[in-house]
């Protein structure tokens, strides 16, 4: 837990930057000019021209692909001096070379499309395996339920899955009557050392959401106002991070999933599939929009949503975020999950709610841009 905390408190001045210094196509001018990596971090050589939130996701890609944390590549001094992330260790230099190689492969063989990433070769290991594994070849075939590629089930329609989901929650009419809620409970994660701390969630239909984590060191706030998103937390590289790209899309989805009635119309295309999670059969709905990564929704045999997986593209590959929902309870004739576990390449966060007040009056001030994080 300590090393993970170090990873996310610093991950900054970075190992193997991906390059060479171009902003991804389709990014808006305002995104290009605010909080870029080379203006926030020191000694950035190749990962230039990308927003800081995407930069941190690339660090998550490195950690997940190699089974590392930041202390594996960076100077030991980072434990007491964050400036030491700028020190060029041999592994930092090696990582830059690896990213250059990866970019060259994608450019020369895949027309610049990111078909090869760090994970393609490493798959959780520092040294990529070069000898075939007979245990893998003849072992039990395991399907990854979080794959972006699903096998379509043409016997079931997306409308049927959604209707079953809505009925499991209480019915369309009751869901339509849920316009806001305030949830209170506890939060735990890498930034709390695994300890439970108080948390508040404010949500208003169709897509506004604010979470406030109360820690001794100061309050961590994440807000999506229906159009823009921000995060103000102690471990972030700057006191207030503006969300961009896939992180912004993900924040919007996290807000919308609180009010399921609007999810179906949020994607232009839906595919139906099936898989297994924890030895239980589940149905998959995969929603997609042009130019965006898809989202997978997983429903158990009762029709309830048990998992959501979304993805975010970075300059070194695509990273996943998995959100698991459980402990549904009925509140004002609508069932809501009282436990949410968010797992991503930079950590795992658990929300356990003690109370959810439906249709609470929430003032507009709850969804404005938060103040930069400030220590108490």
Q: What is the pLDDT of residues 229-285, one digit of tens each?
A: 999 999 898 999 999 999 999 999 999 999 988 899 999 999 999 999 999 999 999
At residue 304, the 3 state secondary structure works out as coil
Out of 3.40.50.2300, 2.50.20.10, 3.10.350.10, 1.10.3720.10, the CATH code matching 158-367 is 2.50.20.10
Q: What is the pLDDT of residues 183-217, one digit of tens each?
A: 999 999 989 989 999 999 999 999 999 999 999 99
At residue 348, the 3 state secondary structure works out as strand
Q: Is the pTM here over 0.85, yes or no?
A: yes
What's the confidence (pLDDT) of residue 23? Answer: 35
For the residues 344-354, what does the mean pLDDT come to? 94
Q: What is the rounded distance in angstroms from the CA atom of residue 152 to the CA atom of residue 271? A: 6
DSSP 95-159: HHHHHHHHHHHHHHHSTT-----HHHHHTT-SSPP-S--HHHHHS-----TT-S-----TTS-HH
CB-CB contact of 294 with 286 (8 Å): yes
Q: pLDDT confidence of 138, banded at 50, 70, 90?
A: very high
Q: Where in the chain is the domain with CATH 2.50.20.10?
A: 158-367
Q: pLDDT confidence of 332, banded at 50, 70, 90?
A: confident
DSSP 28-78: -HHHHHSSBHHHHSSS-SSS-SSBHHHHHHHHHHHHHHHT--HHHHS-GGG
Task: Give percent above pLDDT 70 in the chain.
Answer: 91
Q: pLDDT confidence of 71, banded at 50, 70, 90?
A: confident
Decide if pLDDT at 9 tops 70. no
Q: What is the pLDDT of residues 156-190, one digit of tens each?
A: 999 999 999 999 999 999 999 999 999 999 999 98
Residue whose tokens read 């997306």: 158
Decide if pLDDT at 12 tops 50. no
What's the confidence (pLDDT) of residue 34? Answer: 60
Decide if pLDDT at 26 tops 80. no
DSSP 162-230: HHHHHHHHT-HHHHHT--EEEEEEEEE-GGGTT--EEEEEEEETTTEEEEEEEETTEEEEEEE-SS-EE
User: φ and ψ at 239, to 5 degrees?
Assistant: -60, -25
At residue 259, the 3 state secondary structure works out as coil
Ranges 22-36, 181-195, 304-318, 343-357: which has the least confidence: 22-36
User: Which residues, in sequence order, are bridge partners of residue 344?
Assistant: 321, 347
What's the confidence (pLDDT) of residue 299? Answer: 98
DSSP category for residue 367:
G
What's the confidence (pLDDT) of residue 284? Answer: 97
Decide if pLDDT at 357 tops 70. yes
């Amino acid at each position: 837990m300590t090393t993970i905390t170090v990873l996310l408190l610093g991950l900054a001045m970075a190992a193997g930057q991906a390059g060479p210094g171009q902003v991804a196509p389709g990014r808006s001018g305002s995104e290009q000019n605010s909080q870029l990596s080379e203006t926030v971090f020191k000694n950035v050589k190749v990962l230039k021209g990308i927003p800081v939130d995407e930069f941190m996701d690339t660090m998550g890609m490195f950690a997940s692909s190699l089974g590392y944390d930041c202390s594996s590549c960076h100077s030991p001094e980072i434990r007491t001096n964050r400036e030491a992330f700028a020190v060029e260790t041999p592994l930092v230099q090696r990582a830059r070379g690896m990213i250059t190689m990866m970019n060259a492969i994608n450019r020369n063989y895949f027309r610049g499309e990111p078909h090869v990433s760090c994970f393609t070769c490493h798959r959780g290991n520092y040294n990529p395996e070069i000898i075939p594994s007979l245990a893998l070849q003849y072992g039990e075939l395991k399907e990854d339920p979080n794959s972006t590629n699903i096998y379509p089930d043409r016997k079931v329609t997306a409308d049927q899955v959604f209707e079953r989901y809505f009925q499991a929650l209480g019915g369309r009419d009751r869901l339509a009557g849920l316009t806001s809620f305030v949830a209170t409970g506890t939060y735990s994660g890498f930034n709390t050392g695994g300890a439970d701390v108080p948390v508040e969630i404010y949500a208003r239909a169709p897509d506004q959401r604010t979470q406030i984590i109360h820690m001794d060191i100061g309050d961590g706030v994440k807000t999506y106002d229906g159009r823009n998103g921000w995060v103000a937390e102690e471990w972030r590289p700057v006191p207030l991070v503006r969300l961009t790209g896939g992180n912004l899309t993900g924040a919007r989805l996290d807000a919308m999933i609180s009010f399921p009635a609007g999810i179906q119309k949020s994607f232009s295309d839906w595919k139906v599939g099936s898989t297994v999670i924890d030895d239980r059969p589940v149905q998959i709905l995969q929603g997609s929009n042009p130019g965006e990564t898809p989202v997978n929704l997983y429903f158990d045999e009762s029709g309830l949503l048990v998992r959501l997986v979304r993805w975010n593209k970075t300059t070194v590959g695509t990273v996943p975020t998995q959100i698991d929902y459980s402990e549904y309870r009925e509140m004002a004739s609508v069932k809501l999950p009282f436990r949410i576990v968010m797992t991503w390449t930079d950590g795992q966060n658990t929300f356990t709610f003690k109370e959810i007040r439906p249709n609470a009056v929430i003032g507009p001030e709850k969804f404005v841009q938060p103040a930069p994080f400030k220590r108490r």
